[in-house]
Amino acid sequence: MRLNHVLCLLLLSAAGCTSVPYRAGKDSGRIHGYRLPAGEPQLVVGRPNRFLDASDWMWPGSLLGKLMLWNVNVDSHQVSPETIDAIRRYLVDNELRDVKVRINGYSVGDELRRTIRNKAVGAGWRFTFGMMAWLQYTILPGRFFGGDHYNPYANSINIYSDLVPVALHESGHAKDFAGRTFKGTYAFLYAAVPFFNLYPEAKASSDVLSYLQDLDDRAGKKSAYHLLYPAYGTYLGGDIASWVNHPWNFTVQAGAIVAGHVVGRTKAAFMPRPSSPPPAPRPAQGIARFQIRGRR
């Protein structure tokens, strides 16, 4: 019980803080990576496949993800137009013009090309850890194994879950990296230094909550509390478990996830009620190329 209390306090202090007014990302032009060629769609959607789209009920990792977040849409491989539209709007509002978004897709060649040409990340990082990320993407295709993620070396987002908060969270990582000067170093610290990953994870989740609050999307914000806090608990529990005795690893990780559910649902339950009718939807700012193209 004491452990869960500690985990709850850590979750309260480390994730989910909102910032109003919302600070949209801006493409300053200071450091450009791989620019999308003229006419290339920024967002692509994979072709439906009956076997691959049912893989979330075959692969134990996807089943575990559904259990941990308590949501059947984790790695569902069937992403709704609402989720796609939410990503589209976020990218436009934050001027993320060059990040590639693949919805339930798999493109080894494009991921490799983007990793090689993304000069916003130092060559030393791209041709070591970037190539390792590409190899993992190639050997363990998310088209079957799932796993929503942002790849900073290729500046690409891969979405397999029909969950708006999760999709926005991965887009929030792209926004975070877009503002970093030393992107490769930041990516290395995230992957290799224990507990460092808690900062960018909290930053991306906080950005999502602030963004949804700015849109006055109460339902979306409530869903974000339900999903992003236990998701954060998976990182917190994993980091803590690596520093405790082996027999306690499962207990710590499970406790962190449960604490995330408790904190997230408590925050959702005590969201302030609106004092006036919601304002008209704010129009998206800027221009982005969004073509939906089938791709295996």
Q: pLDDT tens digit string along 58-117?
A: 999 999 999 999 999 999 999 999 999 999 999 999 999 999 999 999 999 999 999 999
Entry pTM: 0.89
Q: What span, in angstroms and rounded, lies between the C-alpha atoms of 246 and 44?
A: 43
Q: Which of 33-42, 141-150, 156-165, 184-193 has the lowest mean pLDDT?
A: 33-42
Q: What is the largest CA-CA distance in the chain?
A: 57
In terms of residue numbers, what domain contains 257?
Answer: 2-24+33-273+280-295
Question: 102 forms bridges with which residues in the sheet?
Answer: 44, 158
CA 96 to chain centroid: 15
Q: What span, in angstroms and rounded, lies between the C-alpha atoms of 81 and 290?
A: 13
- How does pLDDT run across 236-273, given as a tens digit for each residue? 999 988 887 667 788 889 999 999 999 999 999 999 87
How many domains does the chain fold into?
A: 1
226 to each of 9, 83, 91, 94, how far by Cα in Å? 17, 17, 23, 24
